[in-house]
């Protein structure tokens, strides 16, 4: 029934081939019922990578496995046949595989159970703590397993065939644990940090990023390594993962003693961000939309005149003649080289917005059609979010090549090294996933990987041109996007305190999902009126929060709106009101200047956090439990998580700074829990003993921020 091969164990039974394999410091678990995947003889491996669903995992031969060895050589797996740190053995018609700190037990009926690897003096799974087990409610006459018997006939893994196709609707079920808390999974517009009890759509949308890695308070992390449209339910009675159209089951699981250990193991197998360039550490100025070259230069000149540090300024969308030209409209941007040069002399980096859309009137449209570089539709005409435009297929070699070659000629060769890769979901009409098809396969099967491949398009081109420390801004991500320099922002969100609360939880979960570079539109995108006193309060509190985000970026579509400058090309789109820090009156101006100066003060510390993200995959911002997880039990039943696992309105900016943002209107004080240790309030310099909750002042010009007593040099 089982075959042991190098660092993997396979089980063949009827239609299903199951493979559990050591991968990094975890286990990759795959299964298929697809006829083309079933081998002629039992020893044949699963198909080559080119035949599989696209993976978020790095190739196994590029990973360094753990050099830890459990004692005792299993007789069924001579050490010479296994990777270092891997043990495989058979016992009572069951198979076991241990790698690093996780053990998988494969029952004789194919059911899977995952354990914290046993202590060094005992190799049996029974000595480890049960972390996760499949949900199986069946009776099986073919095996003698002692698993729970049920007349319900609900399998843990269900492959429902899609008629007239070679894909399946896949459902994978796990037992739920009432004491469990679940984090990560990407960015969702909801007020929950702990996702236990939530239904999560596995699909990309404007302001929603599906990055399907979950971190559990029970001491494990799981990556759903499948880019298909689907859903996961973290229910009270059941955890259920669904891929609507796929050829195989594929996930990766690891275990660790701390969230940090789990997160770093995940980063090892999916990749880490490059090193953030110096211009990523300061303040970024943006609005929808600067309409002319002279307008954006005037803004930059005023920042320089006011002696306010500015690292990046942004040219937003519709600066082009047609979507898909990827070039400046010379009527409004007559001399891009001079613009880049003047900004550089002021110490400011220019970022250019790019959309993956191509109008029929674009000079690149026919070439894209001829070479198959556009997203296809199952029926009818290709359409995108704005106007009569199609979407570039970034899974197509031709689509990627034509797009990058044009970007390089019209932007990169003019000195532009920073791009805003907008519409990264992509924003297809109505998100009708069943209607679209890529070079790599149907949207329903591979669609969630689009933002990763979009980031990769620019990253590969920039790297080939010799650039290092690459970063580009995107509105969406999938697992692995981080290794292609993706800085993700939270999309076109509402300008309100409710939205601000959602962004805090979204940013923390994005970091735990493996995307350490994250930001928001400070002040939100929709609904802000620069004349409104209520909005000014939202903006102030958001600006204070933004100072402690991985990237501090002001953006928005503010009212009152401005009329278009013309009827063609880059002149036909409207603009929002002014969105510079002096646009909101003297009080707002002074507070914003204070926090920009504070961000500058933090530059050495922020750079150290970016280095840690680059080297280890560490989130720049993270929940309190990341740095203060409490004791992790090795007992058969884990202890309940400590208080830090319940706090969702504070966060750590690196290991030494605790931030308690103001998330409600008219709030001028708030309760703050401080973990163990001694903490200094940077606003009052008052010393607090950790392990307690305090009520602290929060005047409009300051949010509560605390630094560990031993690291006050960060601020003072």
Q: Rounded to 5 degrees, what are φ and ψ at 274? A: -65, 180
Q: Which residues contact 247 (CB under 8 A, 6 or more apart)?
A: 32, 34, 37, 52, 53, 166, 167, 168, 445
Q: Rounded to 5 degrees, what are φ and ψ at 309? A: -60, 130
Quick: pLDDT tens for 173-215: 999 999 999 999 999 999 999 999 999 999 999 999 999 999 9
Domain termination residue (choose one: 616, 634, 662): 616
Residues annotated catalytic, as ranges: 422, 425, 492
For the chain, count helices (H), then strands (E).
12, 39
Using the predicted structure, report yes or no on whether residue 143 has a pLDDT greater than 60: no
Do 189 and 142 belong to one domain? yes
* CATH (domain of 355): 3.20.20.80
Quick: pLDDT tens for 29-87: 999 987 633 222 323 333 333 334 579 999 988 886 433 333 334 444 443 345 677 99
* CATH (domain of 683): 2.60.40.1180
Read off the pLDDT band of 388 (50, 70, 90).
confident
Using the predicted structure, report yes or no on whether residue 144 has a pLDDT greater than 70: no
Quick: pLDDT tens for 331-361: 999 999 999 999 999 999 999 999 999 999 9
Please check whether residue 554 is in contact with residue 308, taking contact to mean a CB–CB distance below 8 angstroms: no
Do 246 and 168 belong to one domain? yes
Domain count for the chain, please give it. Answer: 3
Residue 142: the pLDDT is 56
Domain termination residue (choose one: 588, 616, 644): 616
Identify the residue whose tokens are 């985000």.
Answer: 549
Please check whether residue 648 is in contact with residue 505, taking contact to mean a CB–CB distance below 8 angstroms: yes
Quick: pLDDT tens for 426-465: 988 789 999 999 999 999 999 999 999 999 999 999 999 9
Q: Tokens standing for 653?
A: 């900016």
CA atoms within 13 A on the CB side of 368: 33
Q: Is 430 exposed, middle or buried (0-12, 13-18, 19+ CB in 10 A)?
A: exposed
Do 576 and 428 belong to one domain? yes
Q: Tokens standing for 539?
A: 């903006």
Do 524 and 424 belong to one domain? yes
For the entire predicted model, the pTM comes to 0.94
Beta-strand relationship, 16-23 and 8-13 = antiparallel
Please check whether residue 455 is in contact with residue 419, taking contact to mean a CB–CB distance below 8 angstroms: no
Displacement of CA 457 from its chain's centroid (Å): 18
- For every residue of 2-68, which 3-state class applies, written as one string? EEEECCEEEEEECCEEEEEEEECCEEEEEEECCHHHCCCCCCCCCCCHHHCCCCCCCCHHHCCCCCC
How many Cβ atoms sit within 10 Å of the Cβ of residue 84?
14
Residue 1: the pLDDT is 79
Beta-strand relationship, 220-224 and 283-285 = unpaired
Residue 460: the pLDDT is 97
Which helix H or strand E contains 565, and what residues bound it?
A: none
Instruction: Quote the CA–CA distance of 138 and 107 in Å, as a whole number.
Output: 13
Identify the residue whose tokens are 């607090």.
Answer: 688
Residue 496: the pLDDT is 98
Domain termination residue (choose one: 239, 270, 301): 270
143-147, 161-165, 506-510, range with the lowest pLDDT: 143-147
- For every residue of 440-461, which 3-state class applies, written as one string? CEEHHHHHHHHHHHHHHHHHHH
Q: What average pLDDT does range 635-651 have in this prediction?
A: 79
Task: Using alpha carbons, select from 443, 431, 34 the residue that is nearest to residue 228.
Answer: 443
Residue 71: the pLDDT is 32
Q: Rounded to 5 degrees, what are φ and ψ at 711? A: -130, 35
- Collapsing DSSP to helix, strand or coil, 606 comes out as helix
Read off the pLDDT band of 147 (50, 70, 90).
low
Please check whether residue 474 is in contact with residue 487, taking contact to mean a CB–CB distance below 8 angstroms: yes
Residue 56: the pLDDT is 95
Do 575 and 472 belong to one domain? yes
Q: Tokens standing for 675?
A: 């973990």
Do 212 and 347 belong to one domain? no
Do 62 and 165 belong to one domain? yes
Q: Is 374 exposed, middle or buried (0-12, 13-18, 19+ CB in 10 A)?
A: buried
Q: What average pLDDT does range 11-16 have in this prediction?
A: 90
Do 311 and 246 belong to one domain? no
Residue 305: the pLDDT is 98
Residue 145: the pLDDT is 54
Residue 161: the pLDDT is 94
Instruction: Quote the CA–CA distance of 513 and 486 in Å, as a whole number.
Output: 13
Quick: pLDDT tens for 581-602: 999 999 999 999 999 999 999 9
Do 363 and 492 belong to one domain? yes
* CATH (domain of 110): 2.60.40.1760
Do 43 and 104 belong to one domain? yes
Which residues constitute the domain of residue 155? 2-270
Please check whether residue 479 is in contact with residue 455, taking contact to mean a CB–CB distance below 8 angstroms: no
Do 475 and 405 belong to one domain? yes
Do 628 and 556 belong to one domain? no
Q: Which residues contact 218 (CB under 8 A, 6 or more apart)?
A: 131, 132, 177, 179, 180, 638
Q: What average pLDDT does range 536-561 have in this prediction?
A: 98
Using the predicted structure, report yes or no on whether residue 277 has a pLDDT greater than 80: yes
């Amino acid at each position: 029934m089982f075959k042991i091969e190098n660092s993997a164990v396979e089980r063949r039974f009827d239609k299903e081939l199951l493979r559990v394999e050591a991968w990094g410091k975890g286990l990759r678990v795959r299964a298929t019922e697809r006829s083309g995947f079933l081998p002629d003889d039992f020893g044949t491996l699963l198909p080559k990578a080119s035949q599989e669903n696209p993976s978020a995992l790095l190739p196994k031969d590029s990973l360094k496995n753990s050099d830890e060895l459990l004692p005792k050589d299993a007789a069924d797996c001579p050490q010479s046949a296994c990777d270092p740190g891997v043990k495989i053995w058979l016992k009572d018609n069951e198979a076991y595989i241990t790698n690093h700190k996780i053990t998988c037990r494969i029952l004789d009926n194919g059911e899977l159970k995952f354990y914290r690897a046993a202590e060094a003096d005992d190799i049996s799974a029974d000595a480890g703590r049960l972390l996760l087990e499949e949900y199986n409610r069946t009776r099986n006459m073919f095996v003698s397993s002692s698993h729970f018997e049920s007349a319900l006939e609900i399998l843990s893994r269900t492959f429902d065939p899609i008629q007239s196709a070679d894909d399946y609707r896949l459902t994978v079920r796990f037992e739920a644990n009432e004491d469990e808390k679940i984090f990560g999974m990407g960015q969702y517009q909801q007020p929950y940090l702990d996702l236990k009890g939530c239904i999560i759509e596995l699909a990309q949308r404007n302001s929603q990023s599906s990055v399907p890695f979950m971190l559990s308070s029970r001491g494990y992390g799981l990556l759903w390594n499948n880019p298909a449209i689907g859903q996961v339910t973290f229910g009270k009675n059941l955890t259920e993962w669904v891929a609507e159209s796929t050829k195989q089951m594929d996930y990766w699981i690891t275990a660790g003693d701390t969230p940090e250990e789990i997160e770093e193991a995940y980063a090892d197998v999916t990749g880490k961000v490059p090193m953030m360039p110096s211009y990523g550490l300061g303040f970024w100025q943006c609005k929808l939309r600067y309409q002319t070259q002279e307008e954006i230069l005037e803004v930059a000149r005023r920042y320089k005149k006011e002696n306010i540090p500015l690292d990046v300024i942004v040219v937003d969308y519709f600066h082009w003649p047609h979507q898909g030209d990827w070039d400046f409209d010379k009527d409004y941007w007559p001399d891009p080289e001079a613009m880049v040069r003047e900004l550089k002399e002021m110490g400011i980096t220019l970022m250019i917005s790019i959309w993956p859309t191509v109008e029929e009137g674009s000079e690149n449209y026919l070439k894209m059609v001829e070479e198959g570089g556009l997203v296809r539709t199952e029926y009818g005409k290709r359409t995108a979010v704005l106007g009569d435009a199609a979407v570039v297929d970034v899974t197509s070699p031709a689509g990627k090549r034509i797009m990058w070659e044009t970007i390089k000629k019209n932007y990169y060769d003019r000195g532009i090294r920073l791009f805003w890769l907008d519409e990264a979901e992509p924003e297809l009409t109505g998100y009708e996933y069943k209607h679209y098809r890529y070079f790599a396969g149907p949207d329903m099967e591979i669609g969630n990987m689009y933002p990763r491949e979009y980031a990769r398009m620019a990253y590969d081109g920039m790297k080939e041109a010799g650039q290092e420390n690459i970063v580009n801004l995107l509105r969406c991500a999938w697992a692995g996007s981080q290794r292609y320099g993706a800085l993700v922002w939270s999309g076109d969100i509402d300008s309100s305190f409710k939205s601000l609360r959602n962004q805090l939880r979204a940013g923390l979960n994005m970091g735990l999902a493996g995307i350490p570079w994250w930001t928001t539109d400070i002040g939100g995108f929709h609904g802000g009126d620069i004349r409104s006193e209520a909005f000014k309060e939202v903006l102030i509190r958001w600006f204070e929060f933004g100072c402690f985000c991985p990237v501090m970026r002001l953006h928005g579509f503010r009212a009152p709106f401005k009329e278009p400058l013309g009827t063609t090309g880059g002149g036909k789109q409207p603009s929002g009101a002014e969105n510079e820090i002096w646009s909101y009156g003297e009080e707002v101006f002074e507070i914003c200047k204070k926090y920009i100066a504070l961000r500058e003060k933090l530059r050495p510390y922020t750079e150290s956090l970016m280095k840690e993200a680059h080297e280890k995959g560490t989130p720049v911002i993270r929940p309190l439990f990341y740095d203060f997880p409490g004791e992790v039990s090795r007992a058969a039943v884990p202890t309940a998580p400590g208080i830090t696992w319940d706090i969702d309105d504070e966060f750590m900016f690196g290991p030494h700074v605790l931030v308690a943002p103001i998330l409600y209107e008219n709030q001028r004080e708030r309760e703050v829990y401080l973990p163990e240790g001694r903490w200094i309030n940077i606003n009052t310099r008052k010393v607090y003993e950790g392990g307690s909750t305090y009520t602290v002042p929060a005047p409009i010009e300051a949010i509560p921020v605390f630094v560990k007593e031993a690291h006050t040099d960060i601020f003072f």
